[in-house]
Amino acid sequence: MKAKRSQKSTAELPKLPLRLLTAVPICDGHDSAINTLNLEFIRHGIEVIYLGYHRSAADIVRAAIQEDVRAIGISSYNGGHVEFFAEVIDRLKKQGADDIGVFGGGGGTITAADAERMKKKGVDEIFFAGTSLVEVLEFVKKTYGTPAKPRLPSTRAMAPHSERDIARHLTAAESGAAVAPWRGQTTPSAAPIRSRTIGITGPGGAGKTTLIDELALRFLRSNPRARLAILSHDPSLVGHGALLGDRATMIYSQDDRVFMRSLGTRGQAGGLSPATERCLQWLGHAGFELVLIETVGIGQEAMPFGSELVDKTVLVMSPDYGSRLQLQKIVMLNMANIVVVNKSDLAGAKTAAAEIEQRLALNQRGQKLVLTVAKRHRDAGVDQLFALLKP
């Protein structure tokens, strides 16, 4: 992999967007309030990693650390909030991450007396029914608008290659900083190491995230000790933040052996982030056996990956791409090593597979075609894809 030589000194670093993680606790499906708040946050330039509802304190803390967020916003309606918020704070402390703030709300289900108890346990603020979005925004900007220190990787406070340490290096990579070497290691630019890397791309709605989650399950089962990293991209909205929501639909990727990082494209076209390559270098140094990269939903002319970035590329399509003519316009059909027709239980999937097979045959590159139903457990197509991804 080519090394990036144009890293910036700390003085030139761009101001990074504020990153928050939001979630709804376990046994709670009230996500209406948090969905509204998420949109308001991204409208004001914040990157929101949304974990979804029915999430355990352990999932929330693991994700917050991996995503290196400044604070966690929890929306809780089904009771048990005093204990749940306390568990989140306790787990953050145990993992040396108590600089990550915790705040939240829950309509009228959190009483003023509960809120006082929660604040005593370390919650920064609780918002009650009737709070305006402006008020929430003002609190967030005032309380979390400046980074807690230290934000850059510190060899003093963090065990090398701990989740916190890796997360901080990725943040530094996102800022473009010339990151300090890990203890006992050379800098990524001096000695690039790359994990086996698979690039997964395709139009929005084809089922890439579900497919990756199923691949994660197969990876965890087939390698009892190995670690997997996932770099998941979502678009940054022009002039706004980004809703980084891929975690919300993932189950197996919440495993302790999976390190997942959500990246906003931050103005770069093509499906990846300006920092993807630098992040890959650090993941290589951290020793992950496999890295899966998910691009944003791509269009006809996108070619997100070069061979310097990934070992294999997978194009995921759904059967409803339109007419056969459309297939002539999709550049990735020439480039991908493997083409997946996901949702192959839908009507028209057989015709789609036949048309894509013909299109690939014209390329004469030995590209593989796999039919999957990623939402189905133990899908034979996903097994076949997993086998094809092995070295």
Query: What CA–CA distances, in Å, run from 248 to 79, 245, 298?
Result: 22, 6, 20
Q: How far is the CB of 79 from ligand B12 (least distance, A)?
A: 4
The smaller minimum CB distance to ligand B12, of residues 48 and 217, is found at: 48
Q: Which residues does 345 contact at the CB level (< 8 Å), separation at least 6?
A: 373, 376
Q: How far is the CB of 293 from ligand B12 (least distance, A)?
A: 30
CA dihedral 246, 248, 252, 253 (to 10 degrees): 40
The smaller minimum CB distance to ligand B12, of residues 37 and 200, is found at: 37
The smaller minimum CB distance to ligand B12, of residues 78 and 384, is found at: 78
CA distance 325 to 311: 29
The smaller minimum CB distance to ligand B12, of residues 77 and 182, is found at: 77
Q: Tokens for 178? A: 């010339």
For ligand B12, the binding residues (CB under 6 A) are 22, 28-34, 36-37, 73-75, 77-79, 103-109, 127-129, 131, 136
The smaller minimum CB distance to ligand B12, of residues 73 and 188, is found at: 73
The smaller minimum CB distance to ligand B12, of residues 79 and 160, is found at: 79
Per DSSP, helices labelled H in the chain are 32-43, 57-66, 81-94, 112-120, 133-144, 163-175, 208-222, 276-285, 324-327, 332-335, 349-363, 380-389
Q: Tokens for 354? A: 């036949």
Strand-by-strand arrangement of the 258-264 sheet:
258-264, 228-234, 290-294, 196-201, 312-317, 338-341, 368-371
The smaller minimum CB distance to ligand B12, of residues 141 and 257, is found at: 141
DSSP class per residue in 92-119: HHHTT-TTSEEEEE-TTTS-HHHHHHHH
The smaller minimum CB distance to ligand B12, of residues 77 and 282, is found at: 77
| Chain position whose Cβ is nearest to ligand B12 | 105
Q: Tokens for 91? A: 């787990």
Query: What CA–CA distances, in Å, run from 76 to 54, 80, 83, 235, 257?
Result: 10, 8, 11, 28, 28
Q: How far is the CB of 180 from ligand B12 (least distance, A)?
A: 34
Q: How far is the CB of 110 from ligand B12 (least distance, A)?
A: 8
Q: How far is the CB of 131 from ligand B12 (least distance, A)?
A: 4
CA distance 51 to 250: 9
CA distance 282 to 181: 10
Q: How far is the CB of 226 from ligand B12 (least distance, A)?
A: 35
Q: How far is the CB of 76 from ligand B12 (least distance, A)?
A: 7
Q: How far is the CB of 49 from ligand B12 (least distance, A)?
A: 13
CA distance 366 to 199: 18
The smaller minimum CB distance to ligand B12, of residues 40 and 311, is found at: 40
Q: How far is the CB of 174 from ligand B12 (least distance, A)?
A: 24
